[in-house]
């Protein structure tokens, strides 16, 4: 398993990145300022974007694993690696996600705890309604994990 930092041609990973955030304009807002990592095992399995939000606070903005490769531990491995890496500079890792039970369950399984909610984030910030298995996303649920104990 290899995790590589991508510094050029980030849009080559667009197909995978759009799984984590289907709005390319929203993606553009954080892709340039964030750091993009790609996980390879044989081929490309997963990507993640991490941004710096405050001096010692980082955020997982986009995590995506190819659908046929999900539930094989790649997502957990990549998030854990990011927490380990950014613990050099940060005290806290955040992640914001829609109110989707299996995604919340995934982050909780990775050691994140629910932190706060941004009401109507998806309806206010995305031009089109976003649906996840038939349910419209409205609020953004933030979770956090301390980087002090990583
Ligand atoms: C969310 C996502 C990144 C998870 O990655 P993954 O590689 O499939 O997850 P892992 O195999 O590392 O799962 C780790 C644990 O999380 C939990 N989990 C993961 N997917 C789950 C699901 N669909 N339902 C319930 N629990 C789940 C389980 O506890 C799992 O451990 P287990 O398989 O031993 O039971 C992946 O499903 C994905 O890319 N989804 C589409 C994009 C997306 O929604 N990204 C999140 C944007 S914030």
Spatial CA neighbour of 90 closest among 36, 38, 47, 54: 54
The domain total for the chain is: 1
Report whether residue 122 contacts ligand 1, using a CB cutoff of 6 Å.
Answer: no
- 88 to each of 8, 37, 74, how far by Cα in Å? 24, 17, 22
Q: Note the pLDDT of residue 102.
A: 95
Closest residue by Cα to atom 47, ligand 1, is 20
Report the number of secondary-structure helices (H) and strands (E) in the chain: 5, 9
Domain that holds residue 67: 2-146
CA 4 to CA 135: how far, in whole Å?
A: 34
Pairing of β 92-98 and β 57-65? parallel
- pLDDT in single tens digits along all 150 residues of the chain: 999 999 999 999 999 999 999 999 999 999 999 999 999 999 999 999 999 999 999 999 999 999 999 999 999 999 999 999 999 999 999 999 999 999 999 999 999 999 999 999 999 999 999 999 899 999 999 999 999 988
- 132 Cα nearest atom in ligand 1: 44
Residue 58: which CATH number?
A: 3.40.630.30
Q: How far is the CA of 98 from the centre of ligand 1 (A)?
A: 14
């Amino acid at each position: 398993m290899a995790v590589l930092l991508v510094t050029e041609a980030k849009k080559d990973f667009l197909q995978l990145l759009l799984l984590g955030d289907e709005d390319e304009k929203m993606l553009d807002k954080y892709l340039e300022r964030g750091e993009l990592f790609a996980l390879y095992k044989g081929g490309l399995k997963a990507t993640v974007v991490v941004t710096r939000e405050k001096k010692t606070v980082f955020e997982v903005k986009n995590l995506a694993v190819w659908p046929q490769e999900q539930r094989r531990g790649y997502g957990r491995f990549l998030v854990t690696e990011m927490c380990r890496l950014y613990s050099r500079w940060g005290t806290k890792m955040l992640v914001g996600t829609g109110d989707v039970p299996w995604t919340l369950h995934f982050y909780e399984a990775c050691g994140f705890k629910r932190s706060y909610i941004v009401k109507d984030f998806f309806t206010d910030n995305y031009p089109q309604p976003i649906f996840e298995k038939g349910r419209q996303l409205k609020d953004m649920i933030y979770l956090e994990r301390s980087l002090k104990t990583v």
